[in-house]
Structures are given as structure tokens and as C-alpha cells.
Amino acid sequence: MTGASCSDTCRHTQNVEKVRSGMLSEREFLFLAELFKAFGDYTRARILFALSMHELCVCALAEVLDMSQSAISHQLRLLRAAKLVRYRKEGKNVFYALDDDHVRNLILQGLDHVREQG
Amino acid sequence: MTGASCSDTCRHTQNVEKVRSGMLSEREFLFLAELFKAFGDYTRARILFALSMHELCVCALAEVLDMSQSAISHQLRLLRAAKLVRYRKEGKNVFYALDDDHVRNLILQGLDHVREQG
DNA sequence: GTAATAAATGAACACATAAACATGTGAGGC
DNA sequence: GCCTCACATGTTTATGTGTTCATTTATTAC
């Protein structure tokens, strides 16, 4: 960490000040990073997209993704922590769904970007 | 990986089929995960948010975030690879900016979510 | 040409993370 | 009570990731 100002040739001082004063709190950036990190995994992306179609119980997710129940459950734990999914118990099953439309929108907006650039 | 069907008690077969057939390609999910992974880091989140306010050269970013030029440059490399930023050279400086409005929208939408839940 | 500066890159290290495997928990049916 | 099933959770292992430090490239000024 050297925050070295690129001396005199680079006249950007005003922009630096403007941007610096517009920055958010450490806490907000940490939350933001955690949010996106939760999306940023192949398996979790598939889980979230699957749930964007229909609520599913754990073993159903395991079937859809063709993965072990344990692997799915570990990922769901992270998604719960990130508040991206909610769940309800029904007998021996636990059904997961996206927490709100914000989550769905983020996925869909991400897909838009992928389809344009990919 | 055991894709074991949760036998008979769990009557979800129709949903599994519906969701499975609605899933995207492996390639698309990999892209999607890569996209979000690029957002999913404290430093990169700050870089992207800073750039959402104004284009900045590398050393200006280093100042704003109070980090070394090298650390910033390494992260910018990832953001370039993810096509989230573009850059233009001007003398000895390289100015970075967000690649398009998609990127800005994703950040802002993420912030909305954070502000509601956080 | 040389010196100085902005940025990029490579290597090394500490740390985080995903999946596999084994085990624990808790509800339902007997 | 016991057993079974759906799910959760520890633990380990292999892999990925972010930062630091040292070095290199590229551009400008002399």
C-alpha cells in the first residue's frame, strides 16, 4: 500500500478527490463483494438459475445438477448466509427458493451481459 | 456425484424434468460465474464503483483505494479479461472506464440489494 | 543515447474455497 | 422404542485467489 501520487505529469487531482468522496463505506463494499461472490461459482450459478424456474428440494437440486446431496447442501449453506435463498420445511424435505426478485433480476441481467459478449 | 432420486415420498419428478430441460449450457453457466466472480472481491468492487463515477488512470485508482499500483494493476488485468473495463492510453498513463452500462447496472442493482438487506 | 515515471508482469506466499467422504441431526413411519 | 430417509455439518485435500516484492516494458523528457 503506497498510495503514491503520480507526481505532477498526471493532472487528475480533482477526479481523485471527487471519486474518493463518492466512495461508499468499507462495510457496504464488503457486503457487495459477498453478494457477487455468492453468484460467482459454476455450481451456485446453476443452483440459482434452477431456483429461478421453480422452488426445489435439496435432492431435486442434486438430481438436476447431477451432484451429491452433500455438495449441494454445502453450497446452499453459503447461499443462505448470503440471503439469496429462503427455505421452507415440508415433512422430511426442505424446499429452497430465491429470496426475492432482486436476486432473479441480477441473474437475468448477468445473463444478458453474457449473451451479448460471450 | 450421486444424482440419487429421493425415492417415492418426494413427488417432485415433474419439477425436476421441467427445470432440467430449462437449464442452460455449461458454457453459459461458466461465463455467468466468471462474470460475477469478477465483481465478487472487495478490491474489485471498489474499483468498479470508482470507475462508475469517472474514468481513472491506474495511479489515480491506487490513490483512491490507497493501495499499491501493482495490486491495482493485477486486479485490472482480471477486469479486462472479464470485459468489464476498457482502457485508453494517454502518454504514460492508462485510463480505465467501465465497459458499458450493463456493468454499471449490475453494480447499482447489487447495491440496491445490499442496502435493503444489509 | 540516458534517466525517470506509469504501468504491466512474474514469482512466492498466505489465505480462501469447493468437493469428497464420513458422520451427525431430526422428522416420520413402524 | 427403533429404523429410515432427507438434509446438515465436520474434516480433509486439492485447487484457486489476492497481495507483496522484484523485475520488465513503454513512454516522455533530457
Instruction: Give pTM, 2 decimals.
Output: 0.91
**CA-based nearest residue in chain B for residue A68:** B1
Report how far residue B5's alpha carbon sits from residue A27's, in angstroms, rounded to the nearest whole number.
42
Cβ of B59 near strand C (under 7 Å)? The reply is: yes
pLDDT per residue as tens digits for the range A40-66 = 999 999 999 999 999 999 999 999 999
Point out which residues pair with A114 in neighbouring strands: none
Q: What is the pLDDT of residue B66?
A: 96
pLDDT at residue number B15: 86
Closest protein residue to D18 (Cα–C1'): B71
* Closest C-alpha among B116, B107, B4 to residue B48: B107
Q: If pLDDT is split at 50, 70 and 90, which confidence band does B1 have?
A: very low
Contact at 8 Å (CB) between A29 and B46?
yes
Closest-CA residue of B relative to A20 is B64
Sequence-separated (6 or more) residues with CB below 8 Å from residue A43: A65, A67, A71, A72, A75
User: What's residue A14's pLDDT?
Assistant: 79
Sign of CA dihedral B30, A118, B47, A22: negative
Scanning chain A, the segments in alpha helix (DSSP H) are: 13-22, 26-39, 42-53, 58-65, 69-81, 101-117
A57 beta carbon < 7 A from strand D? yes
Helix A58-65 crosses helix A69-81 at what angle (to 10 degrees)?
Answer: 110
Query: Which strands, in side-by-side order, build the sheet including A56-57?
Result: A56-57, A93-98, A85-90
**pLDDT at residue number B7:** 59
B44 neighbors A30 (Cβ within 8 angstroms): no
Q: Check: CB of residue A13 under 8 Å from CB of residue B79.
A: no
CB spacing of B37 vs A33 below 8 angstroms: no
